[in-house]
Amino acid sequence: MLDYDREASRYDRTRGGAARAEEAARAILSLAPPRTRLILDLAGGTGIVAERLRRDGAGVAVADRSHGMLGHARERLPGRVLRCDATRLPLHDASVDVVAAIWLLHLVDDPEAVLIEAVRVIRPGGRFITTVDKNASHGVPTEYASDAEPLVTRLAGRHGLSPADSAMFVGAGMGHGGAPDPIFELRAYDKG
């Protein structure tokens, strides 16, 4: 796995920067419930996406376990950064409206543990929003990936989340070697 502490200083520059962040934030906000007060950007890294979520009026916090990535997030969102593991969030039960996990589930061995913790901190009527099938965006089969949409939907249902809307966004600046920019899928799941 990538060493995110070491990668932090160049992460945004090599992953589409502000253009990609704008696209991701727009898609997240299109799926957020009306009157969303607080979004937790889970594995939010440098805070580049969360910064744009805040500019659009939502309260936002970034959670990540990489000290290096959070150093950048602290500059963007002072006082709104949590260093933690996605499976042990230092938040009260039912304390956020939305947990957004963008480009996280494909990295973990146990996506169910992440979902369980997200469900715990989401208020009734809130949403879990996540990217699914990341590898498919790059033309790679996702059948056995930990972010495969059928798997995520099944695990979400097991823990009281029901499928809701979806959105797509362009990974602006993420096309490599002459390939077009990938298009990522976001899925939203409602907590009843």
| Residue-range domains of the chain with CATH | 4-191 (3.40.50.150)
What was the pLDDT predicted at 171? 83
- Reported in sequence order, the residue ranges of the chain that DSSP labels E, i.e. its strands, are 38-42, 59-64, 81-83, 96-101, 122-132, 161-170, 183-191
In this prediction, residue 14 carries a pLDDT of 63
Residue 3 is predicted with a pLDDT of 79
96-101 and 122-132: which strand pairing? parallel
Q: Residue-wise pLDDT tens for the chain (192 aa)?
A: 677 777 777 666 766 678 889 999 999 999 999 889 999 999 999 999 999 998 667 799 999 999 998 999 999 999 999 999 999 999 999 999 999 999 899 999 999 999 999 999 999 999 999 999 987 777 776 677 899 999 999 999 999 999 999 999 988 767 667 778 889 999 999 999
Q: Is 167 exposed, middle or buried (0-12, 13-18, 19+ CB in 10 A)?
A: middle
What's the predicted TM-score (pTM) here? 0.91
